[in-house]
């Protein structure tokens, strides 16, 4: 099946063809670890987890390399560490902040059903690669040293700005905010900067005496290069594949297009003389609250941790995925309530069935159409309901065995591919019974199907439906006036 993805660079939806189908390579910008992640930060993590899962499905589990970095050197981290642990030496305080935040982040995204990426490199463990990249850029005339900083010279790259396609004046105006005397031109950006005593620092490149630290953009270019190119190169040549210095997919939130990704492209292309850094640039839209982007600086955020106290991870994930990744999402409690009902309904339908079997073809086709998760979810709905409705029409004798179980398995393997239904169905039932909320439409449908079966004297089918309902926490009472039901106590 053909996967199509929207590429921000070419502004079109194109057929995805990996450079090496035996090793599909994707890089996604990861968190800066200084504080609890909010649910907006979870959007790229979930969206690219779905893409990772889909690529593994299409190319094989062992044939996808997904790199998501951890930015553990950043001015925001330094500021937070000094504020939280004023009595500790800065480096020790920084370690405490980054270790705790890193752990929280991993617990949170695991609860949201996200698989761990193949590699999660930390910036502080790749300083040598960053310095080597900086040295190359200075050697090629794309960067210069000034006042112990190393800066990228934007003028040295004639087609700078192709990703964001922003007018030059706008980029200059944006850059002016942080214009420093040591820049040759306002848009030049920092690759390396000097550290004050006590701040994190490493011996500087390019003969600079003062120890310093890398700029944020430099981190991603160097780590993408190390884990997605340097390590893939020998495999590519062994297999006779050409290996331009590039990889398949680079992802992140839309706010990273400028300046972060634009600058990553500038660094990588100029250092390695390659026309492209990644074949596809994929960006998720914003999660918003009342029309405004959720952000720490706006003060309108809610952390993943807080939400997980009230909602299962799958419900948060479902709510995220029922909007297409490029559209804005308005995050509402109503959306979460609806999501909880749907997930409950599905797990009731699936019961504890064995997940063997392939995901549904139409479901996969929806995902292959630029990750159309709303359409994929619509297909899951169809799969959860028509079997019951369809069986009524087709006659109850068809129920249970083949069609019923196949539909269950199909739904289960499809929903699992998307990372929904991470918990076992029995856990769902326990939670559902506790909450005493069941999908009443499904219950009524199952009861009428069962009554039909009894009328046709198909008692084994009728018993199976009773068992299914029992798994959903529903107890039936047959009286001479008909069947009533209640939630098991």
Q: How many residues bind ligand AMP (CB under 6 A)?
A: 17
Q: How far apart, in whole angstroms, are the C-alpha atoms of residue 367 and residue 134?
A: 39
**CA torsion sign, 3 to 247 to 6 to 374?**
positive
CB of 227 to Zn ion, least distance (A): 13
Instruction: Give me the 9-48 binding string for ligand AMP, x by CB under 6 A, dash otherwise.
Output: --------------------x-xx-------xx-xx----
From 291, 53, 110, 262, select the one nearest 175 (Cα to Cα): 262
Minimal CB distance residue for ligand AMP: 253
Contacts of 229 by beta carbon, 8 Å cutoff, 6+ apart:
243, 245, 246, 247
Decide whether 121 or 253 has the Cβ nearer to ligand AMP.
253
Contacts of 151 by beta carbon, 8 Å cutoff, 6+ apart:
143, 144, 145, 182, 183, 184, 188, 189, 190, 191
Decide whether 29 or 376 has the Cβ nearer to Zn ion.
29
Member of 51, 94, 163, 287 binding ligand AMP (CB under 6 A): 287
**Cα pseudo-dihedral 154, 160, 164, 168, rounded to 10:** 60
Query: Which of positions 294-353 make contact with ligand AMP (CB under 6 A)?
Result: 294-295
CB of 286 to ligand AMP, least distance (A): 4
CB of 30 to Zn ion, least distance (A): 8
Query: Which of positions 10-39 make contact with Zn ion (CB under 5 A)?
Result: 29
Asked if 256 interacts with ligand AMP (CB under 6 A), we say yes
**Cα pseudo-dihedral 403, 405, 411, 412, rounded to 10:** -170
Asked if 257 interacts with ligand AMP (CB under 6 A), we say no
CB of 115 to ligand AMP, least distance (A): 17
- Classified as helix, coil or strand, 289 is strand
End-to-end CA distance of the chain: 47
CB of 164 to Zn ion, least distance (A): 14
Which partner, Zn ion, ligand AMP, none, binds residue 32 by CB below 5 to 8 Å per kind? ligand AMP
Beta bridge partner(s), residue 68: 28
The DSSP output letter for 37 is P
In this structure, what token pair is assigned to residue 284?
């998720």
Instruction: Give me the 193-232 binding string for Zn ion, x by CB under 5 A, dash otherwise.
Output: ---------------------------x------------
Asked if 258 interacts with ligand AMP (CB under 6 A), we say no
Provide the 10 A C-beta neighbour count for residue 27. Answer: 30
Assess contact for 360 and 410: CB atoms under 8 A.
yes
Beta-carbon-side half-sphere exposure of residue 13 (alpha carbons within 13 Å): 10
Asked if 120 interacts with ligand AMP (CB under 6 A), we say no
Decide whether 102 or 365 has the Cβ nearer to Zn ion.
102
Sites of contact with Zn ion (CB under 5 A)? 29, 220
Sites of contact with ligand AMP (CB under 6 A)? 29, 31-32, 40-41, 43-44, 252-253, 255-256, 284, 286-287, 293-295
């Amino acid at each position: 099946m053909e996967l199509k993805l929207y590429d921000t660079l070419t502004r079109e939806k194109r057929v995805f063809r990996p450079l090496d189908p035996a090793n599909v390579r994707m890089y996604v910008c990861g968190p800066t670890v200084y504080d609890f992640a909010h649910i907006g930060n979870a959007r790229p993590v979930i969206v690219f987890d779905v893409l990772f899962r889909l690529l593994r499905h299409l190319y094989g589990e062992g044939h996808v390399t997904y790199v998501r970095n951890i930015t553990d050197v950043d001015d925001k981290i330094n500021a937070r560490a000094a504020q939280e642990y004023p009595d500790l030496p800065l480096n020790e305080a920084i370690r405490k902040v980054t270790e705790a935040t890193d752990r929280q982040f991993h617990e949170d995204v695991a609860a949201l059903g996200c698989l761990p990426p193949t590699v999660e490199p930390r910036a502080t463990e790749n300083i040598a690669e960053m310095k080597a990249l900086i040295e190359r850029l200075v050697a090629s005339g794309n960067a210069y040293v000034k006042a112990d900083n190393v800066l990228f010279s934007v003028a040295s790259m004639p087609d700078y700005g192709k990703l964001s396609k922003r007018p030059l004046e706008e980029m200059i105006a944006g850059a002016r905010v942080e214009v420093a005397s040591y820049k040759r031109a306002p848009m030049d950006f920092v690759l390396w900067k000097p550290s004050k005593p006590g701040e994190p620092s490493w011996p500087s490149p390019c003969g600079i005496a003062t120890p310093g630290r890398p700029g944020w953009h430099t981190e991603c270019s160097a780590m993408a290069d190390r884990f997605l190119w340097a390590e893939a190169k020998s495999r590519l040549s062994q297999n006779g594949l050409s290996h331009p210095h590039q990889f398949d997919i680079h992802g992140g939130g839309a706010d990273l297009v400028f300046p972060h990704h634009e600058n990553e492209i500038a660094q990588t292309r100029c250092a390695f003389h390659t026309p492209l850094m990644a074949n596809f640039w994929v960006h998720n839209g914003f999660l918003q609250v009342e029309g405004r982007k959720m952000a720490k600086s706006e003060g309108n955020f809610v952390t993943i941790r807080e939400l997980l106290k009230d909602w299962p991870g799958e419900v948060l994930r479902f709510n995220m995925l029922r909007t297409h990744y490029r559209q804005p999402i308005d995050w509402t409690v109503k959306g979460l309530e609806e999501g909880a009902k749907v997930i409950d309904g599905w797990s009731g339908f699936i019961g504890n069935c064995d997940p063997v079997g392939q995901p549904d073809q139409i479901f996969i086709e929806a995902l292959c159409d630029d990750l159309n998760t709303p359409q994929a979810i619509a297909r899951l709905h169809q799969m959860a309901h028509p079997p019951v409705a369809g069986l009524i029409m087709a006659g109850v004798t068809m129920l249970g065995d083949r069609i019923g179980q196949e539909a269950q398995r199909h739904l289960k393997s499809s929903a699992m591919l998307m990372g929904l239904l991470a918990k076992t169905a029995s856990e769902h039932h326990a939670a559902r019974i506790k909450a005493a909320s069941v999908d009443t439409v499904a219950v009524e449908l199952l009861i009428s199907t069962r009554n039909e079966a009894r009328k046709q004297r198909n008692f084994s089918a009728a018993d199976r439906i009773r068992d299914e309902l029992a798994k959903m926490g529903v107890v039936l009472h047959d009286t001479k006036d008909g069947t009533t039901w209640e939630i098991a106590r």
